[in-house]
Structure 1
Amino acid sequence: MAIFASGKKGTQSSQTKIRPTVVRTQNVAKELISIAKSNDVSIHSIDFNVLEVQTYTRINKDNEEVDWEEATDEELQKLLTKENLLNKNFGLKQMYEIEIFSKVEGDPYQDFHLAIGANATKCKVYLSIKEDSQISYNKNFEQDLVTLINKSKVRANILINVFDTMMPSVVSKITAYVRVQESARYEKSEMHLVAESYEPILTKNDALILHYEKKENIDDNEKIDYANRGFIKSVKKDELLMEYIRAKKGTPGRNCRGEFLEPKEPLESNTPTFTTDETIKIIESDDKIEYRAVENGYIVLDANAYTIKSDIDIDEISFRSTGNIHAGVDSDVNISVTESDVMKDAIGTGMEVEVSEIEIEGNVGPNAQVKALKASVGGQTHKTASIKADNLRINVHKGKAYGKNIHITRLEHGEVTGDVVDIVQCVGGHIRAKEVTIERCGSYVNAVASRFIEIKKLQGSENTFVIDPLLKGSVKEGLNQNKEEISKLKKSVKNIKQEIEQYTEMVQNNKKAFEDVKKRLLHYKKNNVKMPSSFIKQYNNFKKAREHLAKIKKEFSSKRDYLNLLTTKTASFQDNIFNARIINRDRWTEHNEIIFKLVDPPIEVSFKPPEGSHDKIFAIVESDDGKYKIEAVKE
């Protein structure tokens, strides 16, 4: 909001006084500057009064300008219709006869700082009373306030008595405040709407918005992340891909200066020239055209045609060629990476890939991260690489692998975490899964499973095979939570049981007295005799005690049943381990260890099969004396 004119300021007694001068003008501000300049005085040292206001109108015809005619107040009311004001041939202006003079000392409004401002179109005009303004009430304040506002308006070329129907209400509100305060001081600034005309609607040029080109490569420091430069623009079904906003001419208006505001002609420079196929649907309306995806995938502009595809073949994924690819595991985007040179990486150093399916013919480089629903690696993974997929196949694995069903041809000191893990050859490494199968097991393998571990051929030593029913963190967390609940319930059940014993004893000891009081009360009631308050109180206390006893017995029964349920649930964690098996279809070599981790008690039972032993299937059993040991069992 621009500031056009302000309230009066302090006088400057040392300046030259000018003789009162009457002028007739359409531009008050210009005349004030001219008078100040010709008399060599500061513009702030002069003031003026509005002696007369004349309003003129005209309606041009056929592009011919007609003469301006002065309109009386009655005529003006008839002329200032919406139809006329929004007609570009209708003209409106004011002429002012003003008297200009030097400011006098002792102005009672010199500390009452008013200012007139407007919005950009000048269709809304505001009066602001600045912070720390001070004013004392006098009998002429209301009329003086109108004068001050109108003087500020004409100084800013704002018409008066035309668009200001709200003025009386604003003046009345301010006057009422000052009258009540008597000597008012404004702790904070105030703003009031004092004129409002017809706001135009701006012309809207056409625009083509490519929504699929999301701004994903700018970080918090406004630095471009070139690794995330969007090689693939993944899209979802029904997603808004592109949007053409049609050009629309605005509507005219007229501001509080009386100026007609003609809307500009719209520019059309972004009309779509591309085509689409059946993978993109077009939705048209009066205001715009929407282009939405029919299916998941990634959007491609081929020549001048947009389409959505799901499969893509590329030589490599690297910082130089593609950057990171974040399509999403639910995107239906399938990538085949064809680089198979053993001396190169198909997935380059530090690259991040997230798609639905990916087939990598070659190697996965250092610090690379791959995430998909289905993935395969024909080469090898670097020890710092990470791959996660529900269904995962890796030729040579040295890094970290996560999934549900994982098949690895050769594990070389890598890490594997999944549900069902099948490894052809294992040379060192860490495996964690529900079920683990190893065709040929070398040395330095640590395999942990919750159901079974099976080794087809054991060739090495220094291996550890562990059965842990709490393998998954969520299961372990569930058990710990179970134990906490059991501990709290046991304490609560114990306290309730003690309370039941106390109330049972109290009820039994007072039962005879209660029956006697009950009979007495019935007698009093039958004979319409007022019952003693001590008897009533004794009766009610005993009744409440019996009701409380029934309530805590019910609570005790409920919590005891829930405690039994939780105890059974905890026992189920333990039961799983008795069904678990460690199987070696081959003979045992030296320095291999079998471990079963019990839940309750939380102990580990270990066993080292002797070299040359042909015992194949091992389980943990409980002996008659309550001790646990690992024994060979039948199928």
Structure 2
Amino acid sequence: MGDKAKILTFQPLFIADCEEPQKELEKIAQDRKITPALLEVKLQEVFYFLKSEGKPHFEELKESELGFLEDEEFLSRPDVEIRQRFAIIIEPQKERKYSFSLRLGEDFRELFLTLHKGSQITYNAVFLEELFERVRAQKAIMRVLFRQEAKERERIASLLKELQNLPFLDKDYEILLAQSAGGGRCVEATLILHFQEDPALQGRFPTIKEEMLLATFLKPQKGGAGRDCLGNYIPPKEPSASAQNPLRIDESIEERDEGNKINYYAKESGYLLFEEYRLSITQKIEIEEVDIKTTGSLLGGLDAPTSVVVKENHYLKEALGDGAKIEAGEVEIAGNIGSGSEIRANRVTISGQTHQTSKIHAQSASIEAHKGWVEADEVKVMRLEAGIIRAQKVHIEHAHGGKVYAKEISIRFLHSNLQAFASEKIEIFEIMGEDNKFTLTPEANPKIQSRLATLLRSFEELSAALKTKIKKFNEEAKEIKALRPLATKIKAMIDLNRQEGVGTPAYLQEKLKSYINLLKYTQAHKEEIEKLQGERHALSEEILSLQAPTLASYIWSKNGWKGYNEVRFKLLLPPKDLFIAPKTSIHHGLLRLDEHQQSILNQKGVP
């Protein structure tokens, strides 16, 4: 006979007295040749036995004598010994939609209850009672001391109430169910470095915010006598006498004595320095190089007065290593920055070269040789080599290719293959090469680029919707015009028949009703069109206001045009794309739109 058949015929067994319920269950399972996991213990009663000074033998206690379980002073006596025995029922395991477990802490001072992920729980008296009784049975199996059960029941009820709106538990939920009686643990003098435990603060120079808790020194405390969750006596314990606080701080750290511990807080934001148990915060770091493996990234925050100076300047080495990041108020790098590196700062100065996959975000940036990507309010580049610049104002000494998007662009020496997009002006001092492409368009300004794209997309969608609705409206108007003579005739017939007391055929009344409904529908359609036209007009006004500076934009080559280059003026509303390839013998240095934006003017002089 298999387990399933045996369980179907298994009758619950009552065991009036036992010390270890799990052993009783396993013994019965072995006798009946049933898998133990198919059976469970149901607790019926707990019996207490006590031995203490003056009572050398264990004596069973009556219910009226169990008050000692609430007396922590009595439970902390070393002469007291407690045993428990149980009356139980062994019965078939029931199928349930939830599971739980109990866990004792490392030194048996705490007992934890965990409801497991995936469980389906219910917040009502029946479910609470079942779970509570199953917890009691598990406590008996673990030989936990039964005391303060009313509090345990309240804690379980509170957990169920908290989880009542979850159809299934999305994770394990654990609570403290019970704890030891008597004195607290012995606390050794311990220094806790919180910044070393935080994954976000790893690296040689972690970034600290003002008022952040950095470290805690736990003062040594004597452990009091007590009794753990299994009913075992806990003797008092003295901490090590030699333990001292090794931490040393400076004026950037605040020390707060809070009784049993000393907490250390950051007085200011900046970079944390920790070496040989000396703790301090600095706003400025000078370092040879920044590397992911050695220093880690330096993320000081733009809102903090932090400054980073990286001194490595060898032309074959990288001051800012591959993938490394710096975030600070000011960043100064004497050498090159590597692939995948990133800088975020208010002010950036790079005296070396940027890698083509590097990124820089700043308010102002000054770069010696640029091959990567930079976005700022103002950018100055000594040598642009196929890099990308997005800014309000850009000044380039030597432009060798690359792409520039800005409101204003100034180029000292223009070489070849540059693509420059500006919303207001481009000024060139000297053309040294050719095959450069220039575009004057409102979309070039990075600050309004996203807003313009949104406006244009909405404008196009509204225009398409209007086109469809106007077409439909015109079709309806044409139909109304064709039906009007018949509708007028039917209405006159109905009025005459009403005067003469004669009925009008139903099909004629339906025709007139359909005509009237068509009039109402067309009127509603007209109102929709007017609303959409109003919305489109508002969009066009905003687009035109953003486009307005480009109407007065210009490109000025101060020493005239040389070689083959292309100039475009591109407007958005109405769409317009005007092109010219300036010729040395024909075109003067200054090119701009005429007042009607119909052609490109070729002018002498200054803007």
TM-score range for the pair, normalised by the shorter chain length: 0.5 to 0.7
Distance in 2, matches of 1:263 and 1:374, equals: 62
Residue in 2 that maps onto 1:523: none
Specify which of 610, 615, 620 is matched with residue 593 of structure 2: 620
Matched, 1:605 2:588: no
State whether structure 2 residue 435 is matched by structure 1 residue 431: no
Asked if 1:337 corresponds to 2:314, the answer is no
Amino acid of the structure 2 residue aligned with 1:274: L
Q: Secondary structure at the match of 1:212?
A: helix
Secondary structure (helix, strand or coil) at the match of 1:335 reads strand
Instruction: Report the counterpart of residue 467 of structure 1 in structure 2.
Output: 440
- Tell me the residue number matched to 1:77: 64
Contact conserved, 1:350 with 1:368, CA < 8 A, in 2? Answer: yes
1:595 maps to what in 2? 568
Displacement of 1:348: 3.9
SS of 1:332 mapped into structure 2: coil
Please give the secondary structure, in 2, of the residue aligned with 1:87. helix
Whether contact under 8 Å (2:70, 2:147) holds in the other structure is no
Identify if the C-alpha distance between structure 1 residues 203 and 123 changes in structure 2 by more than 3 Å, giving closer, same or farther. Answer: closer
How much does 1:279 deviate?
A: 2.4
Q: 1:310 offset after TM fit, Å?
A: 0.6
Residue 292 of structure 1 aligns with an amino acid whose one-letter code is Y
* Partner of residue 273 from structure 1, selected from 246, 259, 263: 246
Q: Give the equivalent residue in structure 2 for 1:67.
A: 56
Cα deviation code 1:80-132 (max 9, x no counterpart) = 44345761344444799xxxxxxxxxxxx997469xx9764599899xxxxxx
Shift of residue 557, structure 1, vs aligned partner: 4.0
Residue 436 of structure 1 deviates from its aligned partner by 0.3
- TM-score under structure 1 length normalisation: 0.62
Deviation string 1:165-220 (CA, Å, 9 cap, x unpaired) is 99xxxxxxxxxxxxxxxxxxxxxxxxxxxxxx974167374554322225549xxx
User: What is the identity, as a one-letter code, of the residue corresponding to 2:74?
Assistant: N
The code of the aligned residue for 1:241 comes to: L
Q: Are the counterparts in 1 of residues 283 and 305 from structure 2 also a CA contact under 8 Å?
A: yes
Question: Is contact 1:372–1:389 with CA below 8 Å preserved after alignment?
Answer: yes
Q: Contact 2:210 / 2:267 at 8 angstroms: preserved in 1?
A: yes
Task: Please state if 1:262 is matched with 2:234.
Answer: yes
Equivalent residue of 2:457, what SS? Answer: helix
Report the CA distance between 1:376 and its aligned residue: 0.6
- Given that 1:589 and 1:612 are in contact with CA atoms closer than 8 Å, whether structure 2 keeps it comes out as no
In 2: Cα distance, 1:378 partner to 1:290 partner: 42
Q: Determine if the alignment matches structure 1 residue 379 to structure 2 residue 366.
A: no
Q: Does structure 2 conserve the Cα–Cα contact (< 8 Å) formed by 1:338 and 1:361?
A: yes
Q: What's the counterpart of residue 632 of structure 1?
A: 603
Match of 2:455 among 451, 455, 478: 478
Instruction: Report how far residue 383 of structure 1 moved.
Output: 4.8
Q: Is the 8 A contact 2:406 2:423 kept in 1?
A: yes
Give me the whole-angstrom Cα distance separating, in 2, the residues matched to 1:161 and 1:231.
51
- 1:200 equivalent among 177, 180, 189: 180
Q: CA RMSD in A?
A: 5.5
Q: Deviations over 1:206-241 (max 9, x none)?
A: 554322225549xxxxxxxxxx96121111122232
Q: Distance in 1 between matches of 2:393 and 2:23?
A: 92
Distance 1:479 1:66, change over 3 A: same
| Pairing partner for 1:211 from 194, 198, 205 | 194
Equivalent residue, structure 2, for 1:99: none
In structure 1, C-alpha distance between the alignment counterparts of 2:573 and 2:74, rounded to whole Å: 91
| Equivalent residues of 1:507, 1:545 under 8 A apart | no
Q: Deviations over 1:48-89 (max 9, x none)?
A: xxxxx99786674xxx554347467xx551354434576134
**How big is the shift at 1:454?**
0.6
Q: AA paired with 2:422? A: A
Task: Give runs of aligned pairs for residues 226-625 of structure 1, distance below 5 A.
Answer: 230-244=203-217, 249=223, 252-253=226-227, 259-262=231-234, 265=237, 267=239, 272-286=245-259, 288-301=261-274, 304-318=277-291, 322-365=295-338, 368-383=341-356, 385-471=358-444, 472=446, 473-474=449-450, 475-492=452-469, 495=472, 555-572=528-545, 575-600=548-573, 602-612=575-585, 615-621=588-594
Does structure 1 conserve the Cα–Cα contact (< 8 Å) formed by 2:394 and 2:406?
yes
CA distance in 1, matches of 2:84, 2:268: 64
Q: Which amino acid in 2 is paired with 1:203?
A: R
Structure 1 or 2: larger helix share?
Answer: 2
Instruction: Encode CA deviations 1:574-632: one digit per residue, 9 max, x unaligned.
Output: 54432211111112212222222232464532212221557232112376xx9544543
Could you tell me how far apart the structure 2 residues matched to 1:81 and 1:92 are?
A: 11
Give the aligned residue type for 1:211.
H
What is the Cα deviation at residue 26 of structure 1?
Answer: 9.5
Residues 514-572 of structure 1, C-alpha deviations (whole Å, 9 max, x = no match):
99x99xxxxxxxxxxxxxxxxxx9xx999999998887665554333222222334444
Q: Distance in 2 between matches of 1:30 and 1:485?
A: 75
1:191 maps to none
My pick for the range that moved more, 322-331 or 302-311, is 322-331
Q: Any stretches of 5+ residues in structure 1 without a counterpart?
A: 1-6, 11-24, 37-41, 47-52, 97-108, 127-148, 167-196, 218-227, 519-536
How far apart, in 1, do the equivalents of 2:579 and 2:354 lie?
33
Question: Contact conserved, 1:595 with 1:606, CA < 8 A, in 2?
Answer: yes
In structure 1, how many angstroms separate the alpha carbons of the residues matched to 2:482 and 2:334? 81
Distance 1:30 1:311, change over 3 A: closer
Partners of 2:146 and 2:457 in 1: CA distance: 80
**Within 2, Cα distance between the matches of 1:304 and 1:161?**
46
Structure-2 separation of matches of 1:404 and 1:263: 69
Q: Which runs of 5 or more residues in structure 2 are unaligned?
A: 1-6, 11-16, 34-44, 95-100, 114-133, 152-176, 496-509
TM-score, length-scaled by structure 2: 0.64
Partner amino acid, structure 2, of 1:466: T
- Counterpart Cα distance in 1 of 2:203 and 2:22: 59
> Which letter maps to 1:370?
I
Cα distance between partner residues in 1 of 2:330 and 2:586: 45
Q: Which amino acid aligns with 1:487?
A: A
CA distance in 2, matches of 1:565, 1:162: 74
Residue type matched to 2:453 in 1?
Answer: K
Q: Which amino acid aligns with 2:196?
A: E
Query: Does the residue aligned with 2:195 lie in a helix, a strand or coil?
Result: coil
What SS does structure 1 have at the residue aligned with 2:305? coil
Contact 1:200 1:250 in 2 (8 A): no
Cα 1:505–1:560 shift into 2, 3 Å: farther
CA 360–499 in structure 1, closer or farther in 2 if over 3 Å, else same: same
Q: CA deviation at 1:449?
A: 1.2
SS in 2 for 1:476: helix
Q: Amino acid of the residue matched to residue 559 of structure 2?
A: D
State, as a whole percentage, how many aligned pairs show the same letter.
Answer: 22
Q: Alignment length, in residue pairs?
A: 503
